[in-house]
Structure 1
Amino acid sequence: MTIPQRFLSLDVFRGLTVAGMILVNNPGSWDYVYPPLDHAHWHGCTPTDLVFPFFLFAVGNAMSFSLPRYQEQGHKAALQKILKRSLLIFLIGLFLNWFPFFRWNEDGQLVFRSLGQLRILGVLPRIALCYGLAGLIIHFSGDRRSFMIAGCVLLAYWWLLLAFGQGDPYSLEGYAGLRLDKWVLGEQHLYRGEGVPFDPEGLLSTLPATCNVIFGYLAGRYIQQKGKDYPMLCGLLVTGCLLVFAGLCWNLVFPINKKIWTSSYVLYTVGIALLLLSVLMYAIEFRGWRRAGSVFEVFGKNPLFIYVMSGVLVKLYLLVRTLAGQNLYGWLYEHIFRPVWGNYPGSLAFAVFHVCLFWALGWWMDKKKVYIRV
């Protein structure tokens, strides 16, 4: 078997995404978040709204190296690898949703977290479902057909929202996926970040999100097949510009929206991912500025483990309470970061501190050659 050439820029891209996820998920206070570090209220796209689709794109990049190896082991072995990995990531996501198994009730008592109200979906379950669906599509269809299937999925998703939506099909109340999630999962198992039962990582919007993985895979294959040369880099750059333009045009009739993961959002985010990847490849692979990306490379070597541990730490913060009844998360911000830096800068400093904390964990693991794969 020919070992595909490794590109440090792909690892840096993945690490940059993990660092971004930790940064935007851990502000000192959600009341003091700079607008670029917060999600768009509904339609639109902020820098924060790029982080999750970038991660899915990076999952596809990594798949472009691993899936051919699986396929060389035979059809059955490849299917087992894809399904096993999908199931493991999904179960880890369920574990993280349930952890730490206890919560504080309104009376200030520590009670067991009932499985009857466990959120089933979320970031890791979506990654698992998208990885599994994309892997199966690519395995059975091949590279060229998977590109056409992804295009059909994006068009079909648009049609589904128009055909089964109510009132404004792109609003929270009229979104067809909301009714599907309530019917399949039940309201008690949905996220309530919007004040009502609604999961931004719902079942229906997983279909277009899968296309981010497919496009990431195709980008990885293209880079491997073309090799490190300027025509390859030019191809990435031009394709990125065209996809951004196509996404903005589609936005006129099908608004860019992360929470329902619209098809225009997929094109727009994949386009920006290609542009960023082009810049990283030029700087690292062509100009040799490897040291500039080495910081983020650490995150990219244990991405899933570092992300899970960041979630575990935050949940432990929320479980531990001071004598005054304040959770440790709020106490750290109120007594350490805000007094020193103020509201908004202190909230950002809290997030940056945790990025540095988990960079240190990743650095230690890399130094000890500890790489946790699922």
Structure 2
Amino acid sequence: MDAADAAAAVLDVRAGVEGLIGNTPMVRIRSLSEATGCEVYGKLEMANPGGSAKDRVALAVIEQAERDGRLVPHAGDAVFEGTSGSTGISLAMLCRAKGYRAHICLPDDTSAEKIGLLERLGAVVEKVPPASIVDRRQYVNAARAGAAAVCAAGGRAVFADQFENEANWRTHYDHTGPEIYRQAGGRVDAFVAASGTGGTISGVARYLKQVLPDVRVVLADPQGSGLFNKIKYDVMFDVREREGTRRRHQVDTIVEGVGLNRLTRNFDVGRRLVDDAERVSDAAALLMARFLVEQDGLFVGSSTAVNCVAALRVARALGPGHVVVTVLCDSGARHLSKFWAAVGPVGGTAERPEVGLDEILAK
């Protein structure tokens, strides 16, 4: 290698872990594409260094706080957040890299893998019982109160507030949406995504609708979430989602990280750009997770399984020749003790045959 080649190689080196965030690859999901006659693409957000799309949000929130003077690196400042896991992991990673302390409040039924990752990254982990958002002990409210207490005592702390902080949807408008448009060659007929905070679907929808006015944006929503009804009927709840019937803190589902029974600022800024919604049962998500391993070798988490069920339905409805893009949020490695324990063994034997798409669509 001569000096010019060496100089060019050096220029391709990223600056720190934050330099690795974004510009994730997009993969053609072969099984779904061949079954539908569409090009079904997955934006591989699990390729971010923290393992999920939440790296983008965490970086945007921290950088905004730095610009505002609310965080100063290596000065003992803290970042508090209430999260079901992935955003906390992204924040913990970036806090280590940029010289902050991470304090993460999460439901005590969060998967052991996510809690373990947070602890290994040096975050303070505060586990709280599942509760409604109106309860001051709820995990988001606990994080807000923790940051306020530090500031009241004369310290400096920021509540990341991923559900309401507009840095969330803006980073997907500025980066994720343009990446999808470029990687798909400027052709996207439908974008399909679930909503946790709402930042991904809102930010990408706002960008894609600007450059591709005819693109269809479809919400993928797990069972028990009220967002499906909000999009379909402009009503947030139905009797199946009333308080007191849910197994978990947010919605009645085994799926982590997506689905909600309240409107967040990040979802609301893009809500009117969402054309339709698909409700995905736990049973369908579990089968899709198995199917993607069996047919594609893709080992995905629960929210990705929800996205892919909805993407399959949208592709079938559109018919052959269309381009459907969805989000591969994180790896199944974060969901071994809960979601994948319910999936069970992968098929391919006489005793446990492989999953078929018709079986998934029937759920």
TM-score category (smaller protein): under 0.3
TM-score (norm 2): 0.25
Q: Which has the higher strand share?
A: 2
